[in-house]
Structure 1
Amino acid sequence: MAFPYARDAELARIRLLVRAVRAGRGDAMVVVGGPGSGRTTLLDAAQTIATGVHVLRVAGVPSEKDEPADRLRDLADLAADHPVLCLVDDAQWLDAAGLAMLGRLARRCAGQGLGLLFAVPGPGWAELSGVEQLALPAAPDALPADLPTAVRTALIEATSGAPGHLAAMAVSLTAAQRAGHAPVPNLLPRVHRASLGALFTGLGPAARSVAVLCACEPLPLDAVDRVGLDRAAVAECVRFGLVTVDGDHVRCPSPVVAATLLADIPGPERAAAHTTLADVFDHDPRAIWHRFAEARPPDAAAAGALAEAGRRAHAAGEFPVAVRVLSRAAELSPTPATAARLHLAAADAAWSGGRATQAEALLARARAEDPALAGETALRQGEIALRAGHPAVAAHQLAIAADHLAGDDRGLQALILAGEARRMAGDLVGYAAVAERVAADVVADPLVARHFAAMAATFAGRHPAAGLALRRAAMAVPAHDTRHALWSGEAAMIIGQVDLAHEHASAAVARARSAGERTLLPVALAALAMTTLVLDRPAAATAVATEGRAAAIAAGQSNSEVEQLTLLALAAVSAGDCATALTWLALAAPGIAERGLGRSGTYAAWARGCVDLAEDRPEEAFGRLRAMATGVGRAHPAIRVLATPQLVEAAVRCGRADQARRALARFDRWAESTGAPTWLAFSRRCHALLEPEAAAEHFEAAIRLHLAAGSTLELGRTRLLYARHLRRGRQARSAREQLRDALRLFDNTPHWAERARAELRAAGDVGSARLVGSGEELTPQQEVIARLVAQGRTNREIAARLVISHRTVDHHLRNVFLRLGVRSRVELAAVYAGHDRNRIAVDGRGG
């Protein structure tokens, strides 16, 4: 597809949706983008990608908005017979009942061969609530590549990504604005401003009134009727491109269009619009804003009324309204100190609403108005940088805040966040320095001080010093505080008590939700996803990390989103879905590289190593996992320990037994100290790989321990490895028993199930399908090798996968060519492709 702008990340997400539909898992998404963003082209790409899926495409038409979409009502029945992907372009123009029906299907399509992909011009469609949104930044390539991220984000937010406006505003930036030292313009450049004015002048009187009202405030559709205007006036404004219909609201296409219109509208006309809107919104905080929109500073009474309304809006979760009302209160305040406090409150509302760039601009104003707020502004700037910027920079900003706020609870809060920033950056040495400052802080909560001391000792390798403190923290019942629950869970994780860590992480999520802690909820969900993953529940971990990613996006926490992506990758590869894992890693990679996210980078390296191992590249897997495991001072020790079983397997498979033994010795000390069956099972499995003469004993012990721990997938993998050992020892019957048990455990993991079937064929299972050619059947081992060659595997990869020599692969492959009458790997692949098509047709599973 020819996109006007780069859409690699969006296409990757579309591929995941199509893959889920094809596999019968179902998926749905809403693509949100303004004019010129390429949302229709993205639907074209989805149609091209969706091979093997029945595609139904519908486009909403304004003139047919009141006509029912009857042809869409039987989608669920269609999907029962064959995977169906429904593409709905311009969904805003479907009839309300039809769109609501499709929204219900989208929310309930999990577990069906049904996918729905909508395209709309803006967010906020009530009928599609609860469906994942893919917001198109619209035109990132229209901006100069050297613009700082914060400036790019501010321009895209101001223009809603409209390509022409975005490019024009980028050209008009001053040197200070380009560098991010001054806010971006809030009005369009002169030529575009004149063009907009000409469009406005061409409107009829009623449409002009609609445009003025919408420039002041997004207008509920029902309010159009209440103020005496008709829907035809709205349609006229839409045709002129001066407003858009977004769900049940009419609004300007972007903030900069609204501000430009207002700047050129005569004062009396603007004042009349504000008076009308004050009546429309009545007791809502927006009514107070409109009442004082034309007031001139200073006006202490107006500022007080606005400040109170802004605080109410913030408490009610109406963050954009709170920002606007509190900012207006600051403008009307009689003193700079009062204005600074109100700008600080507006910044808090902006950050709570996930608007990092807007929050930073408000913090800069507050600090300029009152230098005495340097500590409080640095604290907030540091938290924003921690969640959505560079953690290394955040650590320094938070240290500055702690200096300003020393001897007070806010100073301690700054140190806590500074510690988190050091760890997110992978700077464990820097974390130790923060721990020393916490220990010296006179107001430090003893629990906080103990936590920092224990974690610093762990990172430095002083495990005896950390052990007792960690056990006490893990066993403690956390107070009704989200951070305490997270700390207790982390302590439990480090000492190997994963069930307890999972309990604490669950408590942290519940507390963050009940307390409305939007900034901590993504962190708590990441902890819960990790513990769920370690408990060998990849499907559940995927669900938690998906929710965590959505929470991170809603809160404007790009760093938290990256961490959730790496956890999604780990969950996917755990289930054997390497393609999906690589897609998540590709989405996470830019953020890891650009912002130096050390912890997420460690997760990504672990996931990538697991992919290499699953795809029979043990050398590559060993290189990645060894680099991660020896990265002292950068990777969390718990993560390095958790990756040891994969490191040992990769090392054994590529002939590096000595390095495997050294890694396993460290793992054994930790596993034995925990006494947890999960870790002891891994230990025995690793010993089985390293000690062939005692392998059976170790494998049997590992199986018993996996059963005690309830680790379904890991039990299946251990049985798979045990079967390979038995087959190499010519104990084919025993190998088949292990493989049949493994196959039952791999019901919902096609990759591992296919591995088990291949091993069954190699072990001489008479129920396995054999390929017939030239009048002769292949032996089980020959068939396995032939299939792998047909899939494009090299002899080296096949030898590593089947744990046999290259020479043995060559010998079997020569016999395969002879028996099947083929002369090349290409011909062999063609034979298998034809055989599989025939088998599918006979079995009645064809599409």
Structure 2
Amino acid sequence: MTEPTTLPPGVERNALHDTIRTHLSHGGGVLLTGPAGIGRTTVVSRLAAALRARGHQVMHCSPSPAEQDSPFLGLIDLLTDVADDTLAALAAHERAALEEALLRSESAGPVDRRDAVVLRIAVRKVLALLATTGPVLLVVDDAQWLDGPTAEILKYLARRADSGLSVLATLRTGHDPGASSDRSVLELCSQPVRRMCVPPLTAHEVGELLERHDHPAWPRPLLARLHQASGGNPRTALELSSALDERVRLEGTGLPDSAEPLPVPESLRRPLLDRIGALPASARQTLVVAGAAVRPTVELLRRAGRRHASADLDACVRGGIIRILPASDHGTIRFLDPLTPMVLQAETAYEHLLEAHRALAEASDDAVERAHHIARLAAGPDPVVAARLSAAASAARRRGAPRTAARLGRLAAEYTPAGQAYADIERRLTAAEDGIEAGDLGFARQLAHEVLGDADRPADRVRAWNVVIDSCGQAMAEIADVFPEAVRDAAGDPELLAQLHYRMSWREWMVGGSAPGAHGHAVRAAGLAARTGDRRTELMALTQQAALELFLGLPEAETTLARALAAPHDVHAMTHHNGPVYLKYRFHLVRDELDEARAELRTLVYRLRQRGSADSLSQCLIGLAQVEIQRGRCRPALTIARQSLRIVEEAGLSQGPAWYAVSLAETAGGSLSRALTAAETARRYSEDDDDRLFLPRALHAEGRVRLFSGQSGAAVELLRRVSELETAQGQRDPATRRWHADLAEALAAVGAPDEAEAVIALARRQAERLGRPGILATLDRAAAAVAVARGQLPQAAGELVQAAARLRAIGYPLEEARARAALGRVRRRLGDEAAARAAFSAALRIFTKAEARPWAAMTRAERDRAEDGSACLPEGGSCPEAGSWSDHLTSTERSVVARVAQGATNREIAAGLVLSVKTVEAALTRAYRKLGAKSRVDITRMVMTRPLV
């Protein structure tokens, strides 16, 4: 059997893992599909290990094509660990039939119909016996090769609702002659059955995969090409990377440029060639033309001279090479394997490729497509070809395809004759700027450095330096030496200096950590740009000035933003994430105008999806995810945050902000463990980039997760760092970064009420001065935590009632529910159990409506606790997840024990943790043994007398 590829824990695969585990825990069946090499075996291995740790008995088989005709080989693998003692419980004839099938006794010949019935009953009884000690999971990896007799037994079991089995089967999709059909494999799985696909890896996950297998650290643009060529398939990515590494090392060649095809190893090329070779000659020729096209369609191929295109393509569809999108007007063609066009190009004679490009150039009615083919036909520099490529780049830019525009612009520069140096530099700079918009930062930086080696005009040199600066993303610390050279090249030109001062403002804020210093550069940039008529730079600088004034709590911020939003407008500035329209949503947020903020962002996201940079789209999605969390829409927030992460991974952009958004969304509506991983990842990216502007936000996200997990000491340490960094930068508006209440609550939880009170007092003065009711309401809740720490419970209850009412009026449902849950804990400590249950019930209704899963589970357990005051949760408002009493427990056992201490029944625990009751019972039994406890009272006493670390 092929060794499973080790995969990094990506967001989508974690979500897939959780969904499958939940479904199997409830006794359902899952069919997991995907092409060869996608990682089905790895997902199954992780799931089997996780469920085994939760008390499942996992029985596994992995059939192969050579074993398909071997009767009962799958059954032998599944039951290989079943002891003879278990078989002894069967009737004599049942045991004899089963032992014969398992080759544990001498065979008397082929199994007849009566024996087959007895055998099925025997297997069912054995599995029922095993199920008395814990849930049973049958895993059939590569079920398409399962032998027929074993498959019939599993289908028999799947039809029995009382079998008590869960079945996890995997099916390799693709062109596998002789393999079982999807329908046949589905019948193996217990009901209800879900069919799920293993998602491809993202570009970031491909990079992690290659790193784990000691492959070279390829540049981001090359990594993006490996990801695209592999289609996110782990095995394909590894083999392509190995072939590329071998060529670079053995042949001594440099890295391939964007126009040069990647080397495809024989192991990947041969299956494709075999499949293509099985096609009729006419279909092969049509496939070559389709592979040469940028956007192949049936209609385009007909116009290119392939008169029988429909019939030829039908043969390609039957051969598992392409699919034709039915919803498209002209029959858009998609290659099932992204390597197919590359292999076709490498294996087709040069003259035949030229014929294909010539035919497509004549047939295409699209300027971009036609220019692509004309370039392939040109033998060398040609002013006409260069001009057509430049025009095509402009067309691609207008239609919102900056990556295509960048590639065509570079081709235009390459075909520009040597005597047109200024045209060559202009085209390279424009292509580099398109590369920035497309997120292809390495490509843009390379072109900019080429220009700096050739250009002598100040405007060209400063424009190239701007590309270098813009291409560094969050890592501005890496280009500190660029600014003096760029200022020197500007030669005192006020228009060029305006562009540089705008970028120096960002550097001062991100690297220097000084908002006042950054504000000075922004003001100077706006003034110089206005004087020289550079409206785009003026708008961007005014936006930066307004953002800094908002952060600094200056009253002129609104006026500055109004100047940036006033006509005349600039399309680039109005759709950029550092432009005034984007900043407008942040002004809505600080004024607690959530609906208005959402409307601004949704409009901007729509425009950016049509045309705009990947960076701007990602940043807008991050903002939209935060707004949805505040509005109490946790599921959409999770989806949006993950979209943002996929975009930056595929574009090769800095991922810190996107991981931050994922952490916030997971904290609100997903999993605290995944939220912590995401927050730690965001922090690492910010520290690696030395981005002091974003680092406080990443630290705040991590501090929140630790606070909500009961790790108040760790939360205080992180949130104090946030306070130090933000205060040093000059923050004077607490609504711009809302960490103050969380820090105060963490300080109260660790017994530092005086320090907490000081944090609240300072933030309250600032919020009152600026009119920030949302901040004042959360500070009321934090003040209640201080009162609890001082033992002033009636005062705390009053402040929480006030906080909940104010948060409800303003429209922050999750914050309101947190206040009501805290009120429930205070009421319980005051001995008013009825009022406590009412407060918990109110919080639970809000959390449930918002789909805030971790909060709903915790609050449900608190509401339903049977024993008065014996297991109050930490004042941070979360269930304990770690501590001295749980050092030797698994994560499942810790969760079960924590809820036992809250008074929950086994059935309630199962519902809250999405487990079966039997799994909860098994975990609790193991926990009793490990802790030396004899009863639930002992468990409760241990949790309460050994506080969390």
Q: Scaled by the length of structure 2, what TM-score is found?
A: 0.63
- 1:289 alignment counterpart: 372
Given that 1:159 and 1:255 are in contact with CA atoms closer than 8 Å, whether structure 2 keeps it comes out as no
Give the counterpart letter for 1:629 in structure 2: S
- 2:8 alignment counterpart: 8
Q: 1:140 and 2:210 equivalent?
A: yes
Q: 1:743 to 1:730 in 2, by over 3 A?
A: same
Q: 1:660 to 1:587 in 2, by over 3 A?
A: closer
- Cα distance, 1:469 vs. partner? 3.1
In structure 1, which of residues 336, 341, 359 is the aligned counterpart of residue 426 of structure 2? 341
Give the counterpart letter for 2:461 in structure 1: A
- 1:545 alignment counterpart: 641
Q: 1:495 to 1:438 in 2, by over 3 A?
A: farther
Give the counterpart letter for 1:170 in structure 2: D
Inter-partner Cα distance in structure 2 for 1:236 and 1:368: 50
Q: Deviations over 1:72-93 (max 9, x none)?
A: xxxxxx9xx9999996643688
- Cα distance, 1:364 vs. partner? 4.0
- 2:711 alignment counterpart: 617
- 2:809 alignment counterpart: 708
Given that 2:17 and 2:43 are in contact with CA atoms closer than 8 Å, whether structure 1 keeps it comes out as no
Any gaps of 5 or more consecutive residues in structure 2? Answer: 52-134, 145-160, 183-191, 231-235, 326-332, 888-898, 904-923, 940-949
Inter-partner Cα distance in structure 1 for 2:387 and 2:541: 41
1:204-223 aligned at under 5 Å gives the runs: 206=281, 209=285, 213=289, 216-217=292-293, 220=296, 222=298, 223=301
Give the counterpart letter for 1:360 in structure 2: R
Q: 1:385 and 2:472 equivalent?
A: yes
- 1:826 alignment counterpart: 930
- 2:514 alignment counterpart: 428
In structure 2, which of residues 838, 855, 862 is the aligned counterpart of residue 752 of structure 1? 855
Inter-partner Cα distance in structure 2 for 1:7 and 1:141: 11
Give the counterpart letter for 1:116 in structure 2: M
Identity %, equivalent residues = 19
Q: 1:682 and 2:778 equivalent?
A: yes
Inter-partner Cα distance in structure 1 for 2:513 and 2:351: 59
- Cα distance, 1:622 vs. partner? 1.2
Q: 1:162 to 1:521 in 2, by over 3 A?
A: closer
- With 409-418 and 619-628 compared, the bigger mean Cα shift is at 409-418
Q: 1:602 to 1:251 in 2, by over 3 A?
A: same
Given that 1:412 and 1:441 are in contact with CA atoms closer than 8 Å, whether structure 2 keeps it comes out as yes
Q: 1:515 to 1:279 in 2, by over 3 A?
A: closer
Q: 1:184 to 1:231 in 2, by over 3 A?
A: closer
Q: Aligned residues, how many?
A: 739
Residue 520 of structure 1 aligns to a residue whose secondary structure is: helix
Q: 1:643 to 1:173 in 2, by over 3 A?
A: same
- Cα distance, 1:458 vs. partner? 6.3
Residue 558 of structure 1 aligns to a residue whose secondary structure is: coil
Inter-partner Cα distance in structure 2 for 1:458 and 1:307: 42
Given that 2:526 and 2:539 are in contact with CA atoms closer than 8 Å, whether structure 1 keeps it comes out as no
- Cα distance, 1:651 vs. partner? 0.8
Q: 1:91 to 1:749 in 2, by over 3 A?
A: farther
- Cα distance, 1:664 vs. partner? 0.9
Residue 197 of structure 2 aligns to a residue whose secondary structure is: strand
1:78-227 aligned at under 5 Å gives the runs: 89-90=172-173, 116-118=196-198, 136=206, 140-141=210-211, 147=217, 149-150=219-220, 153=223, 156=226, 160=230, 162-173=237-248, 186=260, 206=281, 209=285, 213=289, 216-217=292-293, 220=296, 222=298, 223=301, 226=306
Q: Deviations over 1:358-402 (max 9, x none)?
A: 34344444444544432222223322322xx62333676578667
Give the counterpart letter for 1:628 in structure 2: V
Given that 2:840 and 2:862 are in contact with CA atoms closer than 8 Å, whether structure 1 keeps it comes out as yes
1:265-284 aligned at under 5 Å gives the runs: 268-281=351-364, 284=367
1:249-328 aligned at under 5 Å gives the runs: 249-250=334-335, 261=346, 268-281=351-364, 284-318=367-401, 321-328=404-411
Inter-partner Cα distance in structure 2 for 1:55 and 1:641: 50
- 2:798 alignment counterpart: 697
Given that 2:290 and 2:296 are in contact with CA atoms closer than 8 Å, whether structure 1 keeps it comes out as no
Q: Deviations over 1:504-533 (max 9, x none)?
A: 545544554566455422223323333443
- Cα distance, 1:656 vs. partner? 0.9
Inter-partner Cα distance in structure 1 for 2:632 and 2:20: 25
Q: 1:634 to 1:514 in 2, by over 3 A?
A: same
Any gaps of 5 or more consecutive residues in structure 1? Answer: 62-77, 100-111, 123-131, 763-767, 769-778, 798-808, 814-819, 836-847
Given that 2:523 and 2:542 are in contact with CA atoms closer than 8 Å, whether structure 1 keeps it comes out as no
Q: 1:737 and 2:838 equivalent?
A: yes
Give the counterpart letter for 1:558 in structure 2: L
Give the counterpart letter for 2:241 in structure 1: L
- Cα distance, 1:425 vs. partner? 5.3
Q: Deviations over 1:594-640 (max 9, x none)?
A: 33344443233222212222221211111111122112446966578
- 1:19 alignment counterpart: 18
Q: Deviations over 1:39-67 (max 9, x none)?
A: 44445457647859999999899xxxxxx
In structure 1, which of residues 517, 530, 546 is the aligned counterpart of residue 626 of structure 2? 530
Give the counterpart letter for 1:9 in structure 2: P
Residue 377 of structure 2 aligns to a residue whose secondary structure is: coil
Q: 1:513 to 1:253 in 2, by over 3 A?
A: closer
Inter-partner Cα distance in structure 1 for 2:687 and 2:344: 36
Q: 1:550 to 1:568 in 2, by over 3 A?
A: same
Q: Scaled by the length of structure 1, what TM-score is found?
A: 0.70
Residue 293 of structure 1 aligns to a residue whose secondary structure is: helix
Residue 385 of structure 1 aligns to a residue whose secondary structure is: coil
Given that 1:90 and 1:119 are in contact with CA atoms closer than 8 Å, whether structure 2 keeps it comes out as no
Q: 1:467 and 2:555 equivalent?
A: yes
Inter-partner Cα distance in structure 1 for 2:680 and 2:530: 44
Residue 196 of structure 2 aligns to a residue whose secondary structure is: strand
Higher relative contact order (CA 8 A, sep 6+): 2
- With 502-511 and 574-583 compared, the bigger mean Cα shift is at 502-511
Inter-partner Cα distance in structure 1 for 2:429 and 2:314: 40
Give the counterpart letter for 2:698 in structure 1: A
Q: 1:31 to 1:488 in 2, by over 3 A?
A: farther
1:480-499 aligned at under 5 Å gives the runs: 481-482=574-575, 483-491=579-587, 493=589
RMSD of aligned Cα (Å): 5.7
- 2:911 alignment counterpart: none
